Amino acid sequence: MSPLLTDPADFSTLVQHFFAERLLQQQAVSPRTVAAYRDTFRLLLGYAERQLGKPPANLALGDFDAELILGFLAHLEAERHNTVRSRNARLAAVRAFARYVAVQCPPALLLVQRILAIPMKRFNKPLLGFLSRNEVQALLTAPNPTTWYGRRDRVLLQLLYNTGARVSELIGIRVHDLELGGTSSVRLHGKGRKQRTVPLWKETIVEIRRWLQFASLQADQPLLPNRWGKPMTRSNIAQRVSRAVSTATPQCPSLQGRIVSPHTLRQRVRNQCSHLYLG
């Protein structure tokens, strides 16, 4: 076996260069992607240590064969109770490293090919509920416009409906991302540092102007802050959408028992809004 596959120092160097050079310098991936890949390797190294009886510092590239990776993926589902989607995300990180190794370490090509042959696992995507126009309108007007939270939540819901933004894009909006002039729009920051500009409807502009005047937000502040002035979290957004559903249900009984998420509002508008991609 080639020394490149048995020397722990060579494996450590490959991992370090994969993160520092391949991901950060060459591909310039987002911090979120780096964190996801880091967590995958933390879990994989821990699993390898338990299975092989070697501390991470003594592990070599040759230890990471297809059999170990398959066992790791089974461990994620059976013992850590990861969903198939999470399992596939971990495999995607391992595959990215394997492709890097194939170029940097040709003696490992057979090992890499076997890892890359591990398939993603298929799964059934749940059907998303569809909101009628009346149900959407009931949600948009549910928050109390006389309170701080109510005014913010009206902007939150209106932006979800208007832009079809992902939750991560929504909570990343700063006041300076808004253009409220002749052609009003909002700049969204998506995955991989991509940006897109989405036109704003008149109803959305009205809610935003009222909110900005009420909250006196500065240009560099989050448009949708929590009570401490920090950006809202995913769980905050989900809670406020659920609260709007509860408030709107007495006036719109068809919402009774419905599971409405931020993505539900996105689905209604995805084909209605044209996006200008800025790269």
Give the model confidence (pLDDT) of 46-61 as tens digits: 999 999 999 999 999 9
Is 234 designated active site?
no
Q: Which of 54, 166, 189, 243 is catalytic?
A: 166
pLDDT at 271: 41
The average pLDDT across 120-146 equals: 83
Query: Measured between alpha carbons, how far is 89 from 73 in angstroms, rounded to an integer?
Result: 10
Greatest extent of the chain over all pairs of C-alpha atoms, in Å? 73
Is 194 designated active site?
no
Q: Which of 99, 209, 243, 263 is catalytic?
A: 263
Q: What are phi and psi of 231, to 5 degrees?
A: -60, 145
Q: What's the pLDDT band for 114 if we cut at 50, 70, 90? A: very high
pLDDT at 157 over 50: yes
pLDDT at 269 over 60: no
Query: Measured between alpha carbons, how far is 175 from 179 in angstroms, rounded to an integer?
Result: 9
Q: Which of 75, 90, 266, 268 is catalytic?
A: 266
Q: Are 178 and 170 in contact (CB under 8 A)?
A: no
Is 54 designated active site?
no
Q: Which of 85, 191, 193, 275 is catalytic?
A: 191
Domains of the chain: 3-116 (1.10.150), 133-277 (1.10.443.10)
Q: Give the residue from 119, 44, 48, 115 showing the smallest Cα distance to 88.
A: 119
The average pLDDT across 181-206 equals: 88
Q: Give the residue from 225, 172, 231, 227 showing the smallest Cα distance to 196.
A: 172
pLDDT at 276 over 70: no
pLDDT at 278: 37
Is 191 designated active site?
yes
